[in-house]
Amino acid sequence: MAPNPPPDPVPPASAGGRFSDEPTASPNDSWKEAIASVIERIGEIREYASYYVAAQTDSIKTKATWIAIYIGLGVVAAVIAIAALATLGVLLISGIAGGLGELFGRAWLGHLVTAVGLLALFGIGTWVGLKVLRSSLKRKLMAKYEQRHQEQRRRYGSDVGQRAAEREHAQPDQA
């Protein structure tokens, strides 16, 4: 097998160009080639943009899927936790009632005392909780309006309560 000869450094005269006998490409041909190249580049850019948008869309869909999966797992865990707490509560109350039944010598009495005792505890707890909540809300409202009164006195020299008292003293009783 014969080795390939090295390429000729000087192109043959038939290759076209300035020293060729063949006509060179016209300016219109190069303009058409440039437009074709631009159109090809626009198509390439459109493909890359479409690829980017598809990748971003898929990323968002994947994140949404994982969020939904985690929400589902959280719901399942919450259901399991609630069921476990309910079971623990039933076992605790049943144990208390059984223990009191053994202590009193009658099972029904243990159940009755346990039920009445728990109802009393829940009632007292609810009553105390509501009183604490009511006083807390009242304290916050009083502080809010006291702060507004201070702001009114600072800005206008008196507050709404003082103005109402002045007006009441200025008008004679119309009874």
Q: Mapped to the 3 state alphabet, what secondary structure does 149-171 carry?
A: HHHHHHHHCCCHHHHHHHHHHHC
Q: Give the Cα separation of 25 and 32 in Å (integer).
A: 11
pLDDT averaged per 10 residues in sequence order, the chain, 175 residues: 58 50 63 87 92 96 97 98 97 96 95 96 97 97 95 92 87 63
Dihedral angle over CA of 51, 53, 59, 63, nearest 10: -160
Q: Give the Cα separation of 69 and 75 in Å (integer).
A: 10
Residue 5: its pLDDT value, please?
61
Residue 21: its pLDDT value, please?
55
Residue 4: its pLDDT value, please?
66
